[in-house]
């Protein structure tokens, strides 16, 4: 029976570059893929940025794939041979059975400028292979190419006027850099084709399963691996812990409880090892008390939620600016009484001014407690730079920040934390509720998705109200969690 001919494309060659088995599974068993929400969202973001880049050329033409890719190739060829001299989006070419759709093609002298659009602020290594495959196909199809570039977001761009995106994108020219990669394409294509026509390739799982992209076949490939031990060596933190884990894994030891205590190179790893073996938490209460003793009252436990947009949405923002849209603050007085304050904007307008004004009403004295406080410091100083009239209050909050994370990291470890001192890992070891009772919004990623849905004009008022409740409950839990953790560790 003849082998069915399976087409190759730029993205399939990228899959092959990552792992031949991934290409094979994508072509023969796409049903086995498990795509997580993060990957889906990243894909949608990339799509949005690509469409936006095209929209900046009102005189361009889009090659549709609705009537099939063969028709798209014909339509592109007809435009080029007819002397079309304006931008073309998704121009489609085929060579040696490999099909590529070029994000943006711009007339440039006697040839074309090829722009591959990426929603990043720079060029990544894996972008070069994408570009090289396109150029290889286009040359094979006889298209004159003047220059080739990755078109990415310019991190220095600031939206200064609504709707004016001039300068949002910048091209990094890579015409020379990709030549050696273009020279490998013919062999790569032949190898990829041979993989596709053969049986499922054997490939051990390894670091390539997460780089440059998390593979969607990890569950499938991992199905025959022995079940992970309860306390894997991979939980060991920091560079030393990761190095040690690799060494023991290479010797076939995946269970931390089978590693001798004498192998632990420093006090921190020794404590983690001992707590894991014994089940007894490492807890130096006196040291924690001593370190937080001078955190003055009233103590303001503060937590932000923020969002980033690849394409700046509001005047004064840049690609991927951190935009705080929510905070929770629990204020603990010296007598133990607690007041809760919060802010959340879901009206779809720039939330920064209102957020800064609400922050400016927080106590002007006492410690400001934030877990991994660098993020809160960045939000506060960013807002202070934007609103000079509120800067004294915001800078005062930033100057009074204290961070429980390094204190807890030095003096507390419970084996259920699995090598992580994130608030979400620490809290359940001290309080049985943790975050388990929250619905819908349970993480920072959920909060961003909830915020985006809530500000979407197509979201119903009832749904927006439900999202608002979930967002408020989640952020409030983060500041409650800090208080519970600090109390439990010092009481």
Is residue 19 a contact residue for ligand SF4 (CB under 6 A)?
A: yes
Give the residue, chosen from 115, 141, 209, 423, that forms a contact with ligand SF4 under the rule CB under 6 A: 209
Is residue 215 a contact residue for ligand SF4 (CB under 6 A)?
A: yes
Give the residue, chosen from 48, 71, 139, 203, that forms a contact with ligand SF4 under the rule CB under 6 A: 203
Give the residue, chosen from 48, 139, 208, 242, that forms a contact with ligand SF4 under the rule CB under 6 A: 208
Half-sphere exposure of 7 (CA within 13 A, CB side): 12
Cβ-based nearer residue to ligand SF4, 15 or 73: 15
Q: Distance (Å, rounded) from C-alpha 149 to C-alpha 157?
A: 19
On whether the CB atoms of residues 172 and 149 are closer than 8 A, the answer is yes
Per DSSP, the three-state class of 166 is: coil
Give the residue, chosen from 48, 71, 139, 218, that forms a contact with ligand SF4 under the rule CB under 6 A: 218
Write down the least CB distance from residue 33 to ligand SF4, Å: 9
What is the token pair recorded at 22?
């991934």
| Residue span binding ligand SF4 (CB under 6 A) among the ranges 66-74, 108-116, 208-216, 365-373 | 208-216
Write down the least CB distance from residue 24 to ligand SF4, Å: 8
Write down the least CB distance from residue 195 to ligand SF4, Å: 11
Instruction: Enumerate the β-bridge partners of residue 151.
Output: 117, 171
Cβ-based nearer residue to ligand SF4, 203 or 353: 203
Instruction: Enumerate the β-bridge partners of residue 324.
Output: 306
Instruction: Enumerate the β-bridge partners of residue 112.
Output: 107, 145
Site for ligand SF4 in 456-485 (CB under 6 A): none
Is residue 12 a contact residue for ligand SF4 (CB under 6 A)?
A: no
Give the residue, chosen from 8, 25, 182, 331, that forms a contact with ligand SF4 under the rule CB under 6 A: 25
Q: Distance (Å, rounded) from C-alpha 404 to C-alpha 298?
A: 16
CA neighbor of 453 nearest in space, from 476, 470, 474, 473: 470
Write down the least CB distance from residue 193 to ligand SF4, Å: 18
Write down the least CB distance from residue 13 to ligand SF4, Å: 15
Is residue 21 a contact residue for ligand SF4 (CB under 6 A)?
A: yes
φ, ψ for residue 214, nearest 5 deg: -70, 125
Write down the least CB distance from residue 224 to ligand SF4, Å: 11
Instruction: Give the neighbor-by-neighbor strand order of the sheet with 338-344.
Output: 338-344, 323-332, 299-307, 368-369, 401-402
Q: Is 58 left (phi over 0), alpha (psi -120 to 50) or beta?
A: alpha
Is residue 195 a contact residue for ligand SF4 (CB under 6 A)?
A: no
Q: Distance (Å, rounded) from C-alpha 122 to C-alpha 101?
A: 21
Cβ-based nearer residue to ligand SF4, 95 or 193: 193
# residues contacting ligand SF4 (CB under 6 A): 12
Q: Residue 129 to residues 13, 170, 174, 208, 410: CA-CA distances in angstroms?
A: 9, 19, 11, 16, 44
Is residue 192 a contact residue for ligand SF4 (CB under 6 A)?
A: no
Write down the least CB distance from residue 218 to ligand SF4, Å: 4
| Residue span binding ligand SF4 (CB under 6 A) among the ranges 214-222, 226-234, 324-332, 457-465 | 214-222
Give the residue, chosen from 16, 89, 93, 217, that forms a contact with ligand SF4 under the rule CB under 6 A: 217
On whether the CB atoms of residues 360 and 384 are closer than 8 A, the answer is no
Cβ-based nearer residue to ligand SF4, 39 or 322: 39
Write down the least CB distance from residue 269 to ligand SF4, Å: 29
Cβ-based nearer residue to ligand SF4, 220 or 435: 220
Is residue 22 a contact residue for ligand SF4 (CB under 6 A)?
A: yes
Site for ligand SF4 in 221-250 (CB under 6 A): 221
Q: 141-146 long-range contacts, Cβ below 8 Å, gap at least 24?
A: 141/77, 141/93, 141/94, 141/95, 143/80, 143/93, 143/111, 143/112, 144/110, 144/111, 144/112, 145/111, 145/112, 145/114, 146/108, 146/109, 146/110, 146/111, 146/112, 146/113
Q: What is the DSSP string of 381-447?
A: HHHHHH-GGGHHHHHHHHHTEE-HHHHHHHHEE-GGGTT---HHHHGGGT-S-TTTT--S--SHHHH
Write down the least CB distance from residue 223 to ligand SF4, Å: 10
CA neighbor of 474 nearest in space, from 449, 444, 432, 452: 444
Write down the least CB distance from residue 127 to ligand SF4, Å: 19
Site for ligand SF4 in 115-154 (CB under 6 A): none
Write down the least CB distance from residue 38 to ligand SF4, Å: 16
| Residue span binding ligand SF4 (CB under 6 A) among the ranges 213-221, 272-280, 405-413, 445-453 | 213-221
Cβ-based nearer residue to ligand SF4, 223 or 491: 223
Write down the least CB distance from residue 30 to ligand SF4, Å: 12
Q: What is the DSSP string of 278-344?
A: H-PPEE-HHHHHHHHTT-PSSEEEEEEEEE--SS--STT--TT--EEEEEEEEEE-TTS-EEEEEEE
CA neighbor of 468 nearest in space, from 375, 347, 333, 309: 347
Cβ-based nearer residue to ligand SF4, 215 or 475: 215
Instruction: Enumerate the β-bridge partners of residue 126.
Output: none
Residues at the site binding ligand SF4, with contacts judged by CB under 6 A: 19, 21-22, 25, 203, 205, 208-209, 215, 217-218, 221
């Amino acid at each position: 029976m003849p082998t069915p001919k399976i087409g190759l494309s730029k993205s399939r060659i990228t899959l092959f570059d990552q792992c031949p088995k991934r290409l094979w599974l994508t072509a023969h068993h796409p049903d086995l893929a498990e795509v997580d929400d993060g990957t889906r969202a990243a894909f949608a973001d990339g799509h949005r940025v690509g469409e936006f880049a095209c929209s900046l050329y009102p005189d361009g033409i889009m090659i549709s794939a609705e009537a099939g890719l063969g028709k798209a190739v014909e339509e592109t060829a007809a435009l080029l041979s007819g002397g079309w001299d304006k931008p073309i989006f998704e121009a489609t070419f085929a060579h040696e059975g490999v099909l590529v759709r070029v994000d943006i093609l711009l007339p440039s002298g006697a040839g074309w400028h090829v722009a591959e659009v990426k929603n990043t602020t720079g060029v990544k290594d894996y972008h070069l292979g994408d570009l090289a495959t396109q150029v290889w196909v286009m040359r094979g199809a006889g298209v004159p190419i003047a220059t080739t570039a990755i078109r990415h977001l310019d991190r220095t761009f600031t939206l200064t006027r609504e709707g004016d995106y001039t300068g949002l994108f910048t091209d990094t020219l890579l015409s020379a850099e990709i030549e050696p990669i273009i020279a490998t394409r013919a062999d790569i294509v032949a190898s990829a084709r041979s993989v596709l026509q053969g049986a499922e390739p054997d490939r051990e799982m390894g670091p390539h399963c997460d780089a440059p992209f998390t593979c969607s076949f990890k569950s499938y490939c991992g199905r025959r691996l022995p079940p992970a031990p309860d306390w894997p060596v991979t939980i060991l933190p920091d560079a030393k812990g990761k190095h040690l884990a690799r060494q023991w894994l290479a010797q076939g030891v995946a269970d931390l409880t089978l590693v001798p205590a004498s192998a632990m190179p420093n006090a921190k790893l020794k404590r983690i090892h001992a707590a894991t073996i014994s089940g007894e938490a490492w807890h130096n209460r006196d040291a924690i008390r001593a370190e937080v003793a001078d955190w003055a009252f009233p103590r303001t436990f503060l937590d932000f939620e923020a969002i980033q947009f690849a394409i700046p949405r509001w005047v004064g923002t840049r690609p991927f600016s951190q935009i705080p849209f929510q905070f929770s603050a629990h204020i603990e007085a010296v007598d133990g009484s607690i007041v809760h304050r919060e802010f959340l904007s879901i009206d779809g307008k720039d939330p920064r001014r209102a957020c800064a004004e609400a922050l400016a009403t927080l106590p002007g004295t006492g410690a400001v407690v934030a877990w991994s406080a660098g993020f809160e410091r960045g939000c506060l100083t960013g807002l202070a730079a934007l609103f000079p009239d509120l800067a004294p209050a915001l800078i005062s909050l930033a100057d009074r920040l204290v961070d429980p994370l390094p204190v807890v990291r030095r003096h507390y470890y419970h084996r259920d934390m699995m090598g992580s001192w994130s608030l979400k890992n620490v809290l359940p070891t001290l309080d049985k509720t943790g975050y388990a009772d929250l619905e819908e919004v349970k993480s920072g990623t959920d909060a961003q998705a909830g915020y985006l849905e809530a500000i979407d004009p197509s979201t119903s008022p009832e749904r927006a109200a439900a999202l608002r409740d979930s967002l408020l409950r989640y952020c409030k839990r983060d500041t409650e969690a800090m208080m519970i953790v600090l109390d439990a560790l010092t009481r």
